[in-house]
Chain A
Amino acid sequence: MLKKLLVLSAIAASTVGVTQAQSLEERVEALEYAGYENWWSFSGSLEYRYDTVETTHNKAYTTNTFNGTSVARTAGEKNSAKHHRVFTELDMAATPSKKLSFYGRLAMTKYMNTLNKGGGSYIGDGAFNELGEGQGADNSKVFFERAFVNYSFTENLTFTVGRLPTIDGAPKHFQEGRPMMGQYPLLVFGGVFDGMALTYANSHNGHAFKFRGIYTPFNQRDIGVTHKPMSNTAGQDIKENVDAYSLMAEYEKTNMSWARRIHLIYQYLHFGGLDAFTNPNASTAQASSTTNFNVTRHVLNLEMNGIANTGLSLGFSYLMGNIKGTGDFQTLGTWYGTSNTDLDGDAWIANLNYEMPFQVLRKAILGFEYINSDDDVFLYDTTAKNKVGLYTGRGGKSMHVFWMQPIDQNFKFRVGYQKSENKKTNFLGGYVGTPIVIDDEATAFYSSLQFNF
């Protein structure tokens, strides 16, 4: 009792200055917010999604998977499959001071009740699995899909380090009816990157600018032997860290006569010397690799919302990309070819969303999306919810139409149709060795229930 009295007295005494300056209403208001906003806050979403997918192979071809399985397609072959999946995200944020903030997301994505796995296994510890952990359908494992801190040196300059929010970037949020869901535009690279960044943000007369440099070193090492680098079959040491770095510029303006908002992102990304295949613990044939992969990308992403004072939003994303492959993997060749490659490949995505003006429809959205890509483009989307390869087709045209219906503030229902084309692949895993001209087509109807909490 005495302790309580002392605490109450201390609170009363220490807040005399504050309370004198505030009305009763303001104090009550402040106390309400004190209850809602602590250092930690949590939110999240859960989505159930059902896809029916049909794939047609209009040309015959044969490829190999990275684990050596041969896959033969016959002309006119058709396959269909149904997918029940659950996606969960539990977001957490901590703001212990005005300078420091932490954001984390625990994520799990899985097929429902896969009681017979057909002898297969989930990707588990595959080479690239870290880029999609938590969002790639697996078992019930929970991953930190993102975990990073922002530390503000000044009002304008912020340092960020950790597992960064680089997946599900623009324009994926168009179809979700959400704010931008990831920092890297999808065409830059659809994977989760760990790293650090420095952001300078400022605004002038309603024009907001951000400039950002990001360093995300890729590791390539025998995780069982951490005291020395790996060697490839040519006896060369493999670089332990491949420097992947990126530069970004962002511009945003709101409240214009012709649109409610415009948002522009330019991003440059480069890494070189990635050896994804050397494996000193594999058999001689499997370990036979001297490949190097080099990627350079320029991406421009434009978004306009509330055009002509209506619910119309448009988005356009353009990739100008180049890849270079050297060396050899299992005498099959290198990235995108049988000998050294130096290939340009571009792609673009156009989005149109129309938010219905009728109140009875609760801001329902009708959306359309169109994707076009060159034969030799390198596209990566490890966290795709779609099952048709909507954003990763080479040399094809893909489209997506959907209806997003909010039921209330926390519940959305979405139905959609997707169609994608893929005109080119490579013999090994789609990425390495002899280029093959194909004519694949995939279509899907899907429905999705999304709950936000």
Chain B
Amino acid sequence: MSKMLLSFVAVFALIFSFGVYAGAKDDFINAVKTQCGKSDADAAALATPGRAGNVIKLKTCSSATITVGDCTLQCKDASSTIGG
């Protein structure tokens, strides 16, 4: 029983993680397209991964804006808005 539970937890965690990943990257691409008028391909090219990548840079930024390439993005603090 415990083995089944462990398997379930592991699979669930992995699937959930993929889901969150897609959200962060999609949010970044949408922001670049909307705020800088970039194409899908150009926005995806700017969505660099990793701890020092642009996606995490936007998600964790504490300044008013960040600049990625020639695109300046407005940072948002979801904890400071009502309703997201």
Contact = CB atoms under 8 A, between A and B. Distances in A.
A306 B23 CA distance: 27
A34 B14 contact: yes
Interface stretch (A75-83, A171-179, A388-396, A429-437): A171-179
A58 interface: no
B20 A11 contact: no
A178 B63 CA distance: 4
Contacts of A31: 17
A14 interface: yes
A15 interface: yes
Contact of A179 (B10, B11, B25, B80): B80
Contact of A32 (B35, B49, B77): B49
A14 B78 CA distance: 33
A198 B84 CA distance: 11
Interface stretch (A2-10, A122-130, A371-379): A2-10
B39 interface: no
B36 A34 contact: no
A33 B80 contact: no
B6 interface: yes
A45 B72 contact: no
Most buried by A among B20, B23, B74, B80: B80
A384 interface: no
Interface residues on B, range: 35 or more
Contacts of A11: 7, 10-11, 14
B17 A33 contact: yes
B51 to A, nearest CB: 7
Contact of A91 (B34, B79, B83): B79
B49 A173 contact: no
B46 interface: no
B64 A173 contact: yes
A327 interface: no
B82 interface: yes
A36 B24 CA distance: 11
A199 B83 contact: yes
Interface of B is mostly: helix
A29 B80 CA distance: 29
B34 A179 contact: no
Contacts of B7: 6-7, 9-11
A30 B18 contact: yes
B36 to A, nearest CB: 6
A213 to B, nearest CB: 10
A261 B80 contact: no
A178 B64 contact: yes
A36 B58 CA distance: 13
B72 A180 contact: no
A237 interface: no
Interface in A14-49: 14-15, 18, 29-34, 36-37, 43, 45
B78 A103 contact: yes
B79 A7 contact: no
A37 B82 contact: no
A150 B20 contact: no
Interface in A134-160: 146, 148, 150, 152, 158, 160
B6 A3 contact: yes
Contacts of A332: none
Interface in A341-383: 355, 363
Given A146-B79, A199-B82, A452-B62, 11 more contacts: A29-B50, A30-B17, A33-B25, A36-B56, A37-B21, A165-B82, A178-B64, A179-B76, A180-B80, A201-B84, A260-B35
Which 5 pairs from chain A and chain B are nearest by CB? A199-B83, A34-B17, A10-B7, A103-B79, A33-B21
Interface of B: 2-3, 6-8, 10-11, 14-15, 17-21, 23-25, 34-37, 49-51, 55-56, 60-65, 72, 74-84
25 contacts: A7-B3, A10-B8, A11-B7, A11-B11, A15-B11, A15-B15, A18-B18, A30-B18, A30-B21, A33-B24, A34-B20, A37-B24, A165-B79, A178-B64, A179-B61, A179-B62, A179-B80, A183-B81, A198-B83, A201-B84, A214-B82, A261-B74, A305-B64, A363-B63, A410-B62
Interface of A: 2-3, 6-7, 9-11, 14-15, 18, 29-34, 36-37, 43, 45, 91, 93, 95, 98, 101, 103-105, 146, 148, 150, 152, 158, 160, 164-166, 168, 173, 177-183, 197-199, 201, 206, 210, 212, 214, 254-255, 260-261, 305-306, 313, 355, 363, 406, 410, 452
